[in-house]
Structure 1
Amino acid sequence: MNKTQQKIAAGLEQAFAENGFAKIGVDGLRDASNVSLRTLYKYCPSREDMIKTALEYRHTRYLRHLFEALPAAPDKAIEAIFDRVGEWMSENAPGGCLFHRAVAAYPDNYVFHEMLERHKREMGDAMVRVTGLSTFRDHFILLHEGITQSWPLIGERSVASAKMLARNLLSAD
């Protein structure tokens, strides 16, 4: 991704996160990307491409945020990951998961459904990779989704609950 593409992706991600997918028009997306309309359309010829670009950029940022420099112990790694999910939600997604929001805004868009599924699957796979706990993949995904989906309702308490459930899960094994 060149600098222009990265600038566009970062601007689109921020604009969609703050405004949703229906509210903001192309002029607002151009302004958020800080490029000309011609440049925006060069890299993202349609609104769907703009959303895909924003989601791909967010996916990369999110995984980097969750999984860089984690403690080696599986239980400590899971707690750190859930703390980072809470940080992310607080700073970047107080209204909920941007992938779920894209699917809700465009329920018939197969591409957005696939992007949501891939995002969640790769997140679960990364949790298994950093902990070595392959039998808990689905549990980790469920706990992660519990945080992201309940965040708009209960905020930080969702992280505390997920961490408590993870501790119970790991101690029962």
Structure 2
Amino acid sequence: MVDMMSKISVGLERAFAARGFAEPSVEDLRDAAGVSLRTLYKYTPSRADMVLAALENRHQRYLSRVFDGLPKGTEEAINTILARVGTWMATETSHGCLFHAALAADPNSGPLRGLLERHKAEVASKAVAATGLVAAETELLVIIEGLTQSWPLRGDEAVEAAKRLGRALGVSLE
């Protein structure tokens, strides 16, 4: 059985992804989490804690979906990572990065900024580990972030452009 915090986090993530960070009422969030208001506040005492719980769940799901079970080889790994980011965008968040949206909704939140920074650092680190492009951590992150931001406008065209950039990056570093 899923532990209570996980259950709450899954529901909160779903609610914030679907409706943004300002719109859902606490009652909406309670319903999405499938718990009583008392239980919701026991595990997430404030709306800020609810957002952090949702994003932590999102972080773990994204890392798993994009980086688990990648093929060996630089080009194969890059292509698979970028294809998976495109699929994530199509199925999970067609409006752009939920982490950036959360920080935009609460720009003075130190905990949100910290979570965003940790998420992006782990994405970059896992991309480097998967591709072997040790000297290209920032470049890989820029390609992934560029895909995330351009996908709502360009869809699969953005995925293919990101793959071309990834191949060019791999060739330039060999």
1:21 aligns with 2:28: no
Using the aligned pairs only, state the percent identity: 48
Counterparts of 1:13-92 in structure 2, within 5 Å, are: 13-92=13-92
CA distance in 1, matches of 2:172, 2:97: 30
1:107 aligns with 2:101: no
TM-score, normalised to structure 2's length?
Answer: 0.96
Residue of structure 2 equivalent to 1:124: 124
Residue of structure 1 equivalent to 2:9: 9
Contact map agreement 2:12 2:53 (CA 8 A) in 1: yes
Amino acid at match of 2:169: L
Contact map agreement 2:77 2:131 (CA 8 A) in 1: yes
Matched positions, count: 173
CA distance in 2, matches of 1:125, 1:106: 26
In the TM superposition, residue 172 of structure 1 has moved relative to its aligned partner by 2.2
Residue of structure 2 equivalent to 1:148: 148
Residue of structure 2 equivalent to 1:158: 158
Deviations 1:65-100 (A, max 9, x none): 011111111110010000000010111010111000
CA distance in 2, matches of 1:112, 1:12: 15
Deviations 1:15-54 (A, max 9, x none): 0000000011100000000000000000000000000000
Deviations 1:2-27 (A, max 9, x none): 52111100000000000000011100
Contact map agreement 2:82 2:144 (CA 8 A) in 1: yes
CA distance in 2, matches of 1:125, 1:90: 24
Contact map agreement 2:74 2:170 (CA 8 A) in 1: no
Contact map agreement 2:133 2:170 (CA 8 A) in 1: no
- The DSSP-based 3-state class of the residue aligned with 2:96 is coil
Moved more, 8-17 or 123-132: 123-132
In the TM superposition, residue 133 of structure 1 has moved relative to its aligned partner by 1.3
CA distance in 2, matches of 1:112, 1:151: 23
**C-alpha RMSD of the superposition:** 1.2
CA distance in 1, matches of 2:101, 2:156: 20
